[in-house]
């Protein structure tokens, strides 16, 4: 008989995502999707760059939705507060979150906060803080991703930066999960190569950290494996040829798979990235891409078996942790991803502050090996020096 502690490790709570209408041209179903979600008067939330494009104008017209686009690349509380004001002014009863991770997160946060009386920071992903929310006050969301990276369209949380402290906070509630997703690969075609690469590496980071997380969730682990295979096969293609709809479709799926899988946990890649994004306003996917190999090397002792399994699944010649690291390094070179953290704005003088912030990030709890401020500072330093720890 297995020891009781081994059996206890096989105890977990599992939740899986929502209805997804996937395929080229599915954006034509937006009005019907709102109806299916119970939304009669939607507010369309997007970012300033997308707001000027015909696809947003067409979508807003089709859904009869005013547009709110005051959303920063790393959304802040003010964006949410102003969005809630626009929501109430329109007498809206739901949100269309349309865009990349910033617009999706902000749109979900607006829908969530539209019926709350407490400050947004009272709902940080800490313990059971989510139970403080008035669940009846959470508006429904239809999510329309236009990048293949964050997977926020199938997530139950939003990452919002506290401007006063320059700290990214994860706001969580199970009902923040969009009621319905329209995943139309054609909407991602206009994304520039650099952003395609950075967002695609974000999808890889989500799948990879979920796979490496020590928590028990075999459903998520299997999805993460296939998500990484899709990234390996299709991210270089999508970056080389932005019109490659097959590659775009598979990357859109890989992004949703990563966010589905990471309910199993994340790790130090995200712990390092969140402070850098908050302090320097750096792109989250690019941060994850830079820190990825350093964290893999740090976790080597705890992930050898899993990395051997992953390497075999990906068809790598070297079925080991080093084989996976070498693949990640080669993929980054192919995508012109920088190797060192100074490219993100990181300065040696800021490492104590960044490390303290990273140690407080909830992603630390899912890292295969324990991490504290000292270990995270060593990882920051290694990423500045360009050497594997």
pLDDT digit string, tens, across residues 309-348: 999 999 999 999 999 999 999 999 999 999 999 999 999 9
> What is each CA distance from 118 to 163, 166, 283, 302, 309, in whole angstroms?
18, 21, 29, 41, 46
The answer on 277 and 207 residing in a single domain is yes
pLDDT digit string, tens, across residues 108-164: 999 999 999 999 999 999 999 999 999 999 999 999 999 999 999 999 999 999 999
Q: Is the pLDDT of residue 358 over 70?
A: yes
Report which secondary-structure segment, H or E, holds 57. helix 54-63
Residue 35 has what DSSP assignment? H
Cα–Cα distance measured from residue 291 to residue 275, given in angstroms and rounded to the nearest whole number? 12
The answer on 139 and 210 residing in a single domain is no
State the average pLDDT over residues 266-285: 96
pTM above 0.85, yes or no: yes
The answer on 256 and 129 residing in a single domain is no
The answer on 206 and 178 residing in a single domain is no
The answer on 200 and 100 residing in a single domain is no
The answer on 205 and 61 residing in a single domain is no
Cα–Cα distance measured from residue 131 to residue 165, given in angstroms and rounded to the nearest whole number? 25
The answer on 113 and 93 residing in a single domain is yes
pLDDT digit string, tens, across residues 29-55: 999 999 999 999 999 999 999 999 999
Q: What angle do CA 242, 243, 246 make, to 5 degrees?
A: 100
How many folded domains does the chain comprise? 2
Cα–Cα distance measured from residue 356 to residue 182, given in angstroms and rounded to the nearest whole number? 39
Across the chain, where does the E strand assignment appear? Answer: 19-22, 42-45, 67-68, 94-99, 141-145, 157-162, 167-172, 180-183
Secondary structure (H, E, C), 93-107: CEEEEEECHHHHHHH
Q: Which CATH number is 285's domain given?
A: 1.20.1090.10
pLDDT digit string, tens, across residues 166-205: 888 999 999 999 999 999 999 999 899 999 999 999 999 9
The answer as to whether 10 is a domain residue is no
Q: Which CATH number is 161's domain given?
A: 3.40.50.1970
> Residue 10: its pLDDT value, please?
66
The answer on 180 and 96 residing in a single domain is yes
Tell me the percentage of the chain whose pLDDT exceeds 70: 96
The answer on 344 and 248 residing in a single domain is yes
The answer as to whether 169 is a domain residue is yes
Q: Write down which residue in 188, 209, 224 finishes a domain.
A: 188
Non-local (6+) Cβ contacts of 149 within 8 A are 100, 101, 198, 199, 200, 201, 202, 203, 255, 285
The answer on 55 and 198 residing in a single domain is no
Cα four-point dihedral sign 207, 71, 247, 245: positive
Q: Write down which residue in 156, 188, 220 finishes a domain.
A: 188
Q: Is the pLDDT of residue 1 over 80?
A: no
DSSP 321-376: HHHHHHHHHHHHHHTT--SSGGGGT--GGGHHHHHHHHHHSGGGGG-SS---HHHH
The answer as to whether 296 is a domain residue is yes
State the average pLDDT over residues 55-84: 96
Cα–Cα distance measured from residue 5 to residue 76, given in angstroms and rounded to the nearest whole number? 42
The answer as to whether 8 is a domain residue is no
The answer as to whether 333 is a domain residue is yes
Give the structural domain span for 95: 19-188
Non-local (6+) Cβ contacts of 223 within 8 A are 207, 257, 260, 261
| Residue whose entry in the numeric block shows the structure tokens 């002014």 | 89
The answer as to whether 224 is a domain residue is yes
Cα–Cα distance measured from residue 148 to residue 185, given in angstroms and rounded to the nearest whole number? 9
**CA count, 13 A, side-chain hemisphere, 283:** 19
Q: Is the pLDDT of residue 383 over 90?
A: yes
Q: What angle do CA 109, 70, 17 make, to 5 degrees?
A: 30
* Structure token pair of residue 141: 């969301």
Average pLDDT of the chain is 95
The answer on 357 and 242 residing in a single domain is yes
The answer as to whether 6 is a domain residue is no
Q: Write down which residue in 158, 188, 218 finishes a domain.
A: 188
Is there a contact between 151 and 255 (Cβ–Cβ < 8 Å)? yes
Cα–Cα distance measured from residue 19 to residue 40, given in angstroms and rounded to the nearest whole number? 19
pLDDT confidence band for 389 (50 / 70 / 90): confident
Q: Is the pLDDT of residue 12 over 70?
A: no
Residue 76 has what DSSP assignment? B
Cα–Cα distance measured from residue 261 to residue 222, given in angstroms and rounded to the nearest whole number? 8
State the average pLDDT over residues 272-301: 97
The answer on 144 and 118 residing in a single domain is yes
The answer as to whether 237 is a domain residue is yes
pLDDT confidence band for 4 (50 / 70 / 90): low
């Amino acid at each position: 008989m297995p020891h009781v502690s081994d059996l206890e490790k096989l105890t977990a709570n599992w939740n899986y995502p929502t209805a997804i209408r996937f395929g080229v041209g599915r954006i034509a179903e937006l009005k019907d999707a709102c109806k299916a979600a119970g939304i009669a008067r939607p507010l369309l939330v997007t970012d300033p760059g997308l707001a000027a494009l015909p696809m947003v104008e067409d979508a807003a017209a089709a859904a009869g939705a005013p547009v709110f686009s005051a959303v920063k690349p790393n959304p802040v509380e003010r964006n949410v507060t102003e969005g809630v004001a626009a929501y109430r002014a329109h007498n809206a009863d739901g949100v269309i979150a349309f865009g990349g991770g910033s617009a999706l997160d902000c749109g979900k946060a607006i829908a969530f906060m539209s019926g709350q009386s407490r400050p947004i920071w009272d709902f940080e992903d800490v313990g059971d803080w989510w139970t403080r929310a008035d669940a009846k006050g959470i508006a429904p969301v239809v999510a329309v991703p236009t990048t293949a990276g964050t997977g926020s369209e199938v997530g139950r949380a939003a990452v919002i930066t506290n401007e006063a402290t320059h700290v990214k906070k994860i706001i969580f509630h199970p009902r923040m999960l969009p009621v319905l997703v329209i995943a139309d690969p054609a909407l991602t075609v206009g994304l520039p190569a650099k952003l395609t690469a950075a967002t695609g590496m974000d999808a890889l980071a989500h799948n990879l950290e979920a796979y490496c997380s020590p928590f028990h969730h075999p459903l998520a682990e299997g999805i993460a494996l296939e998500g990484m295979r899709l990234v390996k096969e299709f991210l270089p293609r999508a970056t080389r040829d932005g019109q490659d709809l097959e590659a775009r479709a598979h990357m859109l799926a890989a992004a949703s798979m990563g966010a589905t899988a990471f309910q199993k946990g994340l790790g130090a890649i995200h712990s390092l990235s969140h402070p850098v994004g908050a302090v320097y306003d750096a792109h989250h996917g690019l941060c994850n891409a830079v820190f990825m190999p350093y964290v893999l090397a740090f976790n080597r002792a705890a992930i050898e078996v899993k990395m051997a399994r992953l390497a075999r699944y990906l068809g790598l010649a070297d079925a080991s942790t080093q084989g996976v690291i070498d693949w990640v390094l080669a993929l980054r070179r192919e995508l012109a991803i920088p190797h060192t953290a100074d490219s993100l704005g990181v300065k040696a003088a800021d490492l104590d502050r960044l490390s303290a912030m990273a140690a407080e990030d909830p992603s630390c709890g899912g890292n295969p090996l324990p991490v504290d401020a000292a270990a995270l500072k060593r990882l920051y330093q290694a990423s500045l020096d360009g050497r594997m720890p």
